[in-house]
């Protein structure tokens, strides 16, 4: 039986994390696409330059870029089949759905009834409790705790060490500063920070 191979788009630090997960699972990384030449990945992984839809057509590809806006922009040009990355050390309930392109990093926990959208990053040691909805292109940074029944809108970044209390609705394109305690709903296009979190900026988009 032929081994599964993956392609990576992104040569920065986050791609090193993704590659390490694939290596744990004995999955070959066939190469890295990136528009930049100063990639930070290991030299043993071939650098393929700019994206080429004709290279290794049977390989799945993951966009391993931490920035939500760039990850979404790149995902729209990809013609390869999209892969999903789940670290073997993550704890995920059987009743969880995870969209294509999402990346579940080491020691994360996702509980029953939660839905993870497409191209999300659930980073190291994050905990997402029951019946949450995480929309497309969200980045949950390391050490975040999301309690039950929470909704996090598209392209939101939840900063490291943040706690979101039960049944809170966080809008789309929100930036939550590291270490915040979010105890009430957050509108779209907001920047919030603090314990409890307060809006420090709101942009109309």
> What are the pLDDT digits (tens) for 59-98?
999 999 999 999 999 999 999 999 999 999 999 999 999 9
What are 142-148's contacts with CB under 8 Å, separation 24+?
A: 142/105, 148/111
196 and 182 in contact (C-beta within 8 Å)? yes
pLDDT mean over 33-48: 74
DSSP state string for 79-120? -SPBP-EE-TT-EE-TT-EE-TT-EE-TT-EE-TT-EE-TT-
pLDDT > 70: percent of the chain: 93
Q: Residue 36: what pLDDT?
A: 74
Residue (of 169, 130, 156, 162) closest to 143 by Cα position: 162
DSSP 3-state of 204 = coil
pLDDT mean over 36-57: 78
- pLDDT of residue 145 exceeding 80, the answer is yes
pLDDT mean over 103-113: 97
Confidence of residue 37 (pLDDT cuts 50, 70, 90): low
61 and 4 in contact (C-beta within 8 Å)? no
- pLDDT of residue 1 exceeding 50, the answer is no
DSSP 3-state of 62 = strand
pLDDT mean over 93-112: 97
Classify domain 5-75 by CATH number: 3.40.50.20
- pLDDT of residue 40 exceeding 60, the answer is no
Q: Is the pTM of this model over 0.85?
A: yes
Written as six digits, the tokens of 26 are 């004995």
Higher-pLDDT residue of 203, 195: 195
Mean pLDDT of the chain, nearest integer: 93
Q: Residue 194: what pLDDT?
A: 96
Classify domain 85-193 by CATH number: 2.160.10.10
Give residue limits of the domains in the chain.
5-75, 85-193
- Beta-carbon contacts of 205 under 8 Å, excluding residues fewer than 6 positions away, are 173, 188, 189
Q: Residue 38: what pLDDT?
A: 59
Confidence of residue 201 (pLDDT cuts 50, 70, 90): low
| Bridge partners of residue 82, in order along the sequence | 61
Q: Residue 202: what pLDDT?
A: 65
Q: Is the dihedral of CA 154, 136, 176, 13 positive or negative?
A: negative
Q: pLDDT tens across 7-21, in order?
A: 999 988 899 999 999
Do 5-75 and 85-193 fold alike per CATH? no
- pLDDT of residue 139 exceeding 50, the answer is yes
Distances (CA, A) of 75 to 83, 157, 189, 194, 203: 12, 18, 22, 32, 25
- Beta-carbon contacts of 68 under 8 Å, excluding residues fewer than 6 positions away, are 137, 138, 139, 155, 156, 157
Q: What is the strand order of the sheet 97-98 is part of?
A: 97-98, 115-116, 133-134, 151-152, 169-170
């Amino acid at each position: 039986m032929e081994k599964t191979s993956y392609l990576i788009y992104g040569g920065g630090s986050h791609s090193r994390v993704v590659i390490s997960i694939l290596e744990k699972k004995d999955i070959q990384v066939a190469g890295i696409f990136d528009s930049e030449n100063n990639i930070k990945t290991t030299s043993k992984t071939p650098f393929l330059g700019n994206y080429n839809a004709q290279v290794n057509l049977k390989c799945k590809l993951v966009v391993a870029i931490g920035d939500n806006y760039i990850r979404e922009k790149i995902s729209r040009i990809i013609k390869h089949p999209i892969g999903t990355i789940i670290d073997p050390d993550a704890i995920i309930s059987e009743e969880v759905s995870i969209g294509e392109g999402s990346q579940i990093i080491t020691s994360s926990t996702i509980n029953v009834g939660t839905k993870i959208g497409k191209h999300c990053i659930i980073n190291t040691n994050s905990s997402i409790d029951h019946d949450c909805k995480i929309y497309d292109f969200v980045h949950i940074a390391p050490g975040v705790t999301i309690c039950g029944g929470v909704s996090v809108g598209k392209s939101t970044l939840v900063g490291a060490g943040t706690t979101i209390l039960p049944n809170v609705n966080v809008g789309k394109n929100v930036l939550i500063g590291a270490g915040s305690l979010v105890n009430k709903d957050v509108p779209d296009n907001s920047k919030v920070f603090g314990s409890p979190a307060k809006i420090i900026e709101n942009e109309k988009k």
